[in-house]
Amino acid sequence: MAHFAAQHPINPPPPSPRQSRELSSAPEEEQQRQEEVNNQVSRPKVAQTQEHSFSAAIIAEALPAGVKVSNLSKYDGTGDPQEHLDKFYAKIDWYDLSDAAYCKVFCTTLSKRALAWFNQLPAGTISNLEQLTQRFLHHFSINMRVPKTVAFLFTIHQRENEPLRYYMQRFVEAVHEVPHVNHELLASII
């Protein structure tokens, strides 16, 4: 009957000199095999993005170190573009940024349709913020809210069985939609 020497799992026998050489080259061989596999695997090629719509001067200028603008609202192409610009300026004006930096930060606020619009602009055609915002407003002008006039206030009437309190709330909300309302005129409307 053959007797097999039991190997204790905690203390395995030391490797022979030949095994030591094989073990030391194993990680290198494994890495080489992995590189060969990676080279053989066909990866889909990502299409190069089009040239940027910003001019070379804007592209060349880096954002100042440490500038982290967060919580900027996104514009997806469906809301009022002027309102988006107003919100953008309200947050970004606290930073002392160049025109080029404004352009770069502004394009990060675009999403969905608005981003698709920006990405299709011809290469190198935007050279300053004024140009970018004018094109932006022009393209999305269909979504701009038209300010209400004083004539709108004359259409607000108390509904049948509507408490005066609720009517006044609706009227005050309507007044806030009309810019530059004369207070004397308001008294005559009510």
In order along its 190 residues, the chain shows pLDDT tens digits of 444 444 445 555 666 665 555 555 556 666 665 555 454 444 444 444 457 899 999 999 988 888 787 889 999 999 999 999 999 999 998 888 999 999 999 999 999 999 999 999 999 999 999 999 999 999 999 999 888 888 888 888 899 999 999 999 998 998 888 888 877 777 777 7
| Cβ contact 152:81 at 8 Å | no
* Owner of token pair 């940024």: 97
Name the token pair of 2: 């053959």
**Beta pairing partners, 75:** 110
Q: 158: Cβ–Cβ under 8 A, 6 or more apart, which residues?
A: 164, 167
Name the token pair of 93: 């004006």
| Cβ contact 103:58 at 8 Å | yes
Locate the domains of the chain by residue range. 56-143, 150-189
Q: 106: Cβ–Cβ under 8 A, 6 or more apart, which residues?
A: 88, 92, 129, 132, 133
pLDDT tens digits, 69-106: 788 999 999 999 999 999 999 999 888 899 999 999 99
Nearest residue to 94 (alpha-carbon basis) of 130, 127, 70: 70
